[in-house]
Structure 1
Amino acid sequence: MPPPSPNVLAKASIDSHVELMRAEVCYNSELSFLMEAHDGLSAAIAGRAGFKGLWASGLSIASSLGYRDANEASWSQLVDSVERIVDSSQLPVLVDGDCGFGNFNNARLLARKLRQRGAAGLALEDSCFPKMNSFVGDRHPLADTREFAGRLRAVKDTVGDDLVLVARIEALIAGHGMDEAISRAHAYADAGADAILVHSRRTAADEIHAFTCAWQNRLPVVIVPTKYYRTPISAYRKDRISTVIWANHSLRAAVSAMRQVCGRILAEETTANIEPNITPLDELFDLLEYNELATAEARYLQPDDLDH
């Protein structure tokens, strides 16, 4: 029998994806890594590279749609993108849900729809709607702690353990200090979060280290070292970090490559000089499993069928 189609396989394996994500984020004694994906192609590439889980990046998805990371893309556009990421990779996907696109009601609706589309986890940040990307500007108002805890409880009451729920703390980004970050982390743990994502915009990981020391691993800690990328991985292992998210690197790599190729084609008026440096079509066809289509055609498009 041929293998089920990617769509069928994704729907049938939602539960196992959630358990895999829970193992990666919550129970794994080793440091885990999630790679950014923003569409089906980037998801397939990350899977082929060997990553075991993906981060559906809000920044990257919005950018790929031509929007800014300021809740300009809608929750339904995010959900549609996540479905393509899940189907193309067959990997567990942790979704960057921003602040939940509103209050508790919007957040629980988002969680329910993501569950239906095959997501394995949801990260919600304690910012106000509409949010602004953490690295843009200096004004980042935070949600009231109790109100955001209510959003988390609403998600838990809606999907239970069918999604891994990660509470993302923006207190350090907003300049509120470590005491506020720790206070919020405890409130979010009490509200049912499975893990805490602590975010920092510093170029060194000193805030992350201070947080883990104060937090004492009450819940697993997830980090996004976009700015403090020079910190060695050994430091995260020493601090007992659970998961590292490479949050936007596929998109940024694609932007750099596309800009270079477009500039050269325009300037040189030929593709002869760039062909050796771009992916051959055969590799693209292999990545997206065109051979499966040929096998399916041989099975389903039989001559007798075509005569009727």
Structure 2
Amino acid sequence: MTTTKHQQLRSALESGRFQTAMAAHNPLAAVLAEEAGFDAIWGSGFELSASFAVPDANILSMGQHLDMMRAIAQRTSIPLIADIDTGFGNAINVSYVIPQYEAAGASAIVMEDKSFPKDTSLRSDGRQELVRIEEFQGKIAAACAARHDPNFVVVGRVEALIAGLGQEEALRRAEAYAEAGADAILIHSKQKTPDEIVEFINGWSGKVPLVLVPTAYPQLTEQAIRDLKKVGIVIYGNHAIRAAVQAMRSVFAQIRADGGIQNVNAALPTVKDILDLQGDAAMRKLESEFLR
């Protein structure tokens, strides 16, 4: 029997097999992430918002994010973890949202315990307002009840450290969300060192695996995370869009400085490289079979 992407992700979490996920804001970025050897794709709301040049504050609609997740899932063979922010509303909304993401090809969702509309966790002075624990437990339970495939993974994201509420509140919320049915807990921090996260991990019961996003504390390597034992997935949350911005800025600036493409052209991927990423070979095969 063929193993589904849902089963791949759940099996890894339940067996303790460490997984890496790279952010993507479109199918091309996702294809490149799979090509590089990542285990999963992070369907990043931050990256998608950035690609539209709007704030990561629920400005884009659920439909826009859902359509991109569907497009990414269709072009990759590894699990897709969809970032659904706060679930686009209350527990009732979540009940309708989950089947749509599952049908679109996502193998997991991550939902955070902030109020709607959210503000990005990455802003130094962001508006970090959390909902009541009981309310978010209801949203987690609704997400679990709404999935059709029991292998579909529901991850509860705890923002207590981001909001400055401390370890005790973060652990209290994480335990409550696991009790409500979350298959994993994403714990987030914007401290420049991993100390806060390590303290949380050391205090965690291990009831379900943890998920980390080490954007602010890059010195915490994959090996160091493995050594902490309780972490199932590490997500590189915004590196695709940052790499794209850096590359485009550099190339665009050189073209303007040089007055043409004579100096940048040789350093760029060839047009054939791009055609290959677009699936040109598969299209040629279809032409040979069906264009008579």
Is contact 2:119-2:126 (8 Å) kept?
no
Letter in structure 2 aligned against 1:95: A
Aligned counterparts of 2:126 and 2:100: Cα–Cα separation in 1: 32
SS of the equivalent of 2:75 reads helix
Deviations 1:261-299 (A, max 9, x none): 112222222101001211111111112220110110110
1:265 has 2:255 as partner? yes
Partner residue in 2 for 1:108: 95
1:282 has 2:269 as partner? no
Structure 1 counterpart of 2:141, from 153, 174, 182 = 153
- The aligned length equals 289
Is contact 1:40-1:88 (8 Å) kept?
yes
Is contact 1:14-1:119 (8 Å) kept?
no
> Bigger CA drift: 65-74 or 14-23?
14-23
Partner residue in 2 for 1:178: 167
202 and 125 in structure 1: CA distance in 2 versus 1, 3 angstrom threshold: same
Root mean square deviation of aligned Cα: 1.6
Q: What is the percentage of aligned positions where both structures have the same residue? A: 35
SS of the equivalent of 1:33 reads strand
Deviations 1:152-196 (A, max 9, x none): 111111115252000000000000000001110111011110000
Partner residue in 2 for 1:196: 185
Aligned counterparts of 2:161 and 2:45: Cα–Cα separation in 1: 20
Deviations 1:196-253 (A, max 9, x none): 0000001111111111111131110000000000123332112111111011101100
What runs of 5+ residues in structure 2 fail to find an aligned partner? Answer: none
Residue 102 (structure 1) shift: 1.1
Is contact 2:115-2:131 (8 Å) kept?
yes
Aligned counterparts of 2:39 and 2:224: Cα–Cα separation in 1: 22
Aligned counterparts of 1:208 and 1:23: Cα–Cα separation in 2: 25
Structure 1 or 2, whichever has the larger Rg, is 1
Partner residue in 1 for 2:132: 144
TM-score (norm 2): 0.95
Aligned counterparts of 1:214 and 1:270: Cα–Cα separation in 2: 57
Partner residue in 1 for 2:73: 86
Is contact 1:79-1:114 (8 Å) kept?
yes
Partner residue in 2 for 1:218: 207
Residue 91 (structure 1) shift: 1.8
TM-score (norm 1): 0.90
> Bigger CA drift: 121-130 or 287-296?
287-296
Letter in structure 2 aligned against 1:106: N
Is contact 2:120-2:126 (8 Å) kept?
no
What runs of 5+ residues in structure 1 fail to find an aligned partner? Answer: 1-12, 303-308
